Each structure stands twice: as structure tokens, then as C-alpha cells.
Structure 1
Amino acid sequence: MTKALLFLSVLTSGFAFSQEDLLKDIDTIKTNTEISQPAFKALQIVTGQSTKLTAKKEWYVVIAHRFGDVSTGFKNFFGLDNASTKLGVIYGITDAVSVSLSRETNMKTFEGGVKYRLVRQNDNFPVDIVGYNVVAANTDLDKDTYPHLKFNDRLAYLTQALISRRFSDKLSLQLTPSYVHKNLYEPNIEDKNQFLAGLGGRYKISKRISLNAEYFVNFDNHSFYKNPLSLGVDIETGGHVFQLLFTNSQINSDIGYLTNASGNWGKGHIFFGFNLYRVF
């Protein structure tokens, strides 16, 4: 475990210090001094969404990996042999509205999303408020298992309110009430409608690096799946925002992450992963 983490640390350090600063203007206060600096530098806190949006006409390409259970040990190289991959694109229609499309290996899930700013933190208002809506299609479902399967059965929906506050140059926190609806679900292990509340934060430790964490409580009455808990590190590099993380959910689609976390932190059943953003 120690050798694997040392190898990854050396690898990412090379990324961080071999390129020029990507988002040098992110921390710059705008001409209108009433507008606060953004609470987060990345579009995600760890796996959950942050209140940051893309700029108008700006494209992001997203590559995310969640490897296997690190507790399997050296046999599977601490989970690195078993990766779930997510590829996506995000486009800023305006500075306040962006759209996204992604596809993940796990459950072969396609997700389309829209993210929109409702209120920005300023001298007269204490928080940023951003809305986020997702529709997902699980294309892994087949008629051999579900003979009467219809396309509508593959769909699930997510609605979130992202409420963040930048308390200082170093500390930002976010509250994320969430609602998930699944058209097809297993009633013995989950509910059709699920309500969650998330708390996340970022603490800046240097110009390029911050420590991030997030936790979601699922108020679903069933207990088969776990509440998602994730810890991460943001690294700003030239042309990239790079996030290293540990989480108890191998699934990194928005809905799957929130409702299908299976790992147990107390037993060491966690997954290493990363998010990589490229801006165009």
C-alpha cells in the first residue's frame, strides 16, 4: 500500500511542477469588488459537484477513474487492476449556465446535466446558490434479466441545490440537499425516491494544492448501501485541474455515487481514484 501511494505521489508531483499555472485568474477578485472569489477551484469538491461553473463558451474534457478496493492488497495492486472510467464534456453556455454529457463504465451509464447559478456570494448575500439537474440512462440493463424492460425504466433523475460560502482565502464549505428518483429500483435494498444531504469543504494549504472532503447522508430507510464519504487533494497544473481521492464508492456518475456506495471505511474497503479536467 505504501509503495503504491509513494509511486502515485511522485507521478502527480511531476504533473504539478512541470507545467505552468492553468487557472491563474481564478483567485483574482473581479473588477466589481462586491463579488467574492469563487468558493471552489474545481467543478467537483471530490465526486460531488461544487458551485463552480465553466465560463461562457469554455469547454472542459473530464476523465475520471475509480480503481478497485485497496484492501485486496498486492494481488490486484491495491485495486489499480480494476478501474471504472468516466469520460465527459462540459460546455459553458453563459457564465451562469453550463451543460454536460458523460458516460461511465460502471453500469454503462450515460448522464446529461445542466448547472446554473441562482445567486452569487457578495457583500449583500452570504452564499453562492447553484442548481444542478441530471438525467441518467443505465444501458447495462438487459431484457434477459428484465423481460418487460422499457427505455423509460433505464432512467433516473437527480436534483440538487449547491449552497456554498467562502469563509476565507483558505476555507470554503458547501451544503448540498439532494433528491434522486429512479424509475427502476430494487425495493428490498433501496427506495424509488431518495433524499440526501451533503456537507463538503475545501482547505487551501498552498497556492496550487488544497485538501477536500465531502459526506452525504442518505435518508433512505434501507441500509444496504453506505453513505458516500470521500477525501481528496486538488492539484492545479498547466492546462489541468487534477484531483486525487479516496472514497467508499467506486461509481463516479452523479446518481450512482450518491445512492450506490458499497465500501466501508471502517473495514478498509475504499477506492482510490482521480478526476482530471482539461480546459479548451
Structure 2
Amino acid sequence: MTKTLLLLSVFSSILAYSQEDLLKDIDTIQTTQNNPPAFKALQIVTGQSTKLTAKNDWYMVVAHRFGDVSMGFKNFFGLDEASTKLGVIYGLTDGLSLSLSRETNMKTFELGAKYSILKQGDNFPVDIVGYHVAGLNTAFDKDNYPYLKFGDRLSYLSQALISKRFNDEFSLQLTPSYVHKNLYEPTIEDNNQFLAGLGGRYKISKRISINAEYFVNFDSHSFYKNPLSVGMDIETGGHVFQLLFSNSQLNSDIGYLTNATGKWEKGQIFFGFNLYRVF
């Protein structure tokens, strides 16, 4: 199984690299030599990074997570069971963007806002970015919840993204997070959940970096696991294509953080990718 996943990752990397000429003009964000971003992509792996879109840029987002690879040929190493997120992001200014997405798993819509608070530079050691999301779960139905109200479908996320670019190769980010769910099962989780995340990026070549992130959920009796993900950024002419492995199949911000089910030690991981197309 490990050899199969390795070959799949290598093949995807070669395919993405081969598209460099076609994608060389895809990213219109310009950065100065004196203040490059801590991260090249808008996400570290699945969690958000401190990178923002440029003013008036439209992004189309395609994020895909296959099923549990530990099932083997029963689900063709996860290829038979996939979850997809489609979304758009618009840069209102260079320091503020809005996003809207919909994920097939749990049929969740998310509306998000991401904005710059402080920037790393000669007078300040880190980037600080705020990120807020309102989620709408349309999979809930009145057959299971006969007294369901519209407000019960809503959940909320607030994050402070705090990153530091140490040098050209290495960046780290701390992400304190708060999630509130209007409808929840009290035997397996709380409606108010506090998390702390740590993520990083290490560049191993001119166009490739290795990324990782881990979130600790302080909900003491949560049934769900702490999300742990590792990935690879492949830069192709300014565009970044991300390959990843995670113990959480969900692509939505709130679902990813609070509904991870896989166990890395048992091989219960999900292969996937993130792709952004800027217009």
C-alpha cells in the first residue's frame, strides 16, 4: 500500500510540474523582495495560512479528499469514496478577502472572511491574520431532527493566524481557534470547542516544500481525533498545487478541525489535493 501511495504522489507531482508553461501566469499576487509571504499557498495543508489574495483577484478552489486508504482494494485505496469542495475567493483589497464554498461531505456551505491585522517586517516579528467562518449544514433533516430550525444548522469558527518567516526555506504558524456549533451531540462533543494549531513549511528545492500541521482540540470528551496532516507544495510558474495526507476527510474548515475520525497509527488516512485557479 505504501508503494502504491508513493507512486501516486510522484506521478501527480510530475503531472503538475509539466503544466508550468500553461500555468505561469495564473498567480497575479505580487510580492516585494523585502517582504515575501511566510507561505506560498492560501492553506498550509487544509488549515488556512496567513497568505491573502490580491485586490480584485477571483480564485476558484477545488479541494478533493479520497476515502480511507487502509481499506485497501475494498474501496480501491479510497478512490471509491471521495469528498469534494468547490469554492470561490474574492480579494476586496490586498488585506481583505471573502470566500464561499460547498462541500459534498455533510453538504456544508461555508462563508468566510480573511483579513490582515499586522505584517511581519523590520518593526514587527510576525504576520497576524484574522479568519472567520459561518457554516451551514444542509445534510440535517427533520426525519432525524423533527424540531429542527434553520439556526440549528449553523456553526461558527474564529481563528487568529500568527506566522513567522524565519528564512527563505522555513516558516511556522500558530493558530488558536474557537468553534461553536448550534446543533451537536453532547455525548461525543461540546458546542463550544477551543483548539490550538501548529503548522509549518520547509522548502526542499526551488519549487517544492514539505508542509505539516497539527491541531489539538481541548474538548476533553470529544469522540473525534486531533487532525494531523502532511503535504507537499509544488510551485508551477507561480501557481501552487498541493498534495496531502490527513486523518480528516472533510474539506470544510469547521469539519476538518472538529470531525477527524482517522488514526494515523492504524493507517486510517485520506489522500487528497488542493488546487486554486485565479482569474
Q: Given the two structures, how large is their TM-score scaled by the length of structure 2?
A: 0.95
Confirm or deny: 8 A CA contact 2:29 2:53 kept in the other structure.
Answer: no
Alpha-carbon distance change, 75 to 7 in structure 1, aligned in 2, over 3 angstroms: same
Aligned to 1:15: 16
Q: 1:1-280 counterparts in 2 under 5 A?
A: 1=1, 2-20=3-21, 21-22=24-25, 28-30=31-33, 33=34, 36-238=35-237, 240-280=239-279
Change (3 A) 1:118 1:228: same
Relative to structure 1, the CA distance from residue 172 to residue 27 in structure 2 (aligned partners, 3 Å threshold; closer, same or farther) is farther
The CA RMSD over aligned residues, in Å, is 1.6
Quote the offset at 1:238 in angstroms: 4.4
Write the distance in 1 (CA, Å) between the matches of 2:165 and 2:42. 15
Cα distance in 2 for partners of 1:71, 1:79 equals: 8
Can you list the C-alpha shifts for 1:116-140, whole angstroms capped at 9, x where unaligned? 0000000010000000000000000
- Alignment: residue pair count: 276
Cα distance in 2, alignment partners of residues 256 and 28 from structure 1: 32
TM-score (norm 1): 0.95
CA-to-aligned-CA distance 1:89-119 (integer Å, 9 cap, x gap) = 0000000000000000010000000000000
Q: What is the deviation of 1:240?
A: 3.8
* Distance in 1 between residues matched to 2:59 and 2:235, nearest whole Å: 15
Question: Helix, strand or coil for the counterpart of 1:274?
Answer: strand
Structure 1 residue 25: Cα displacement: 7.9
Question: Which amino acid counterpart does residue 15 of structure 2 have in structure 1?
Answer: G
Report the CA distance between 1:5 and its aligned residue: 3.3
Name the SS for the 1:93 alignment partner.
strand
Change (3 A) 1:23 1:128: farther
Give the share of equivalent positions with the same residue, in percent: 74
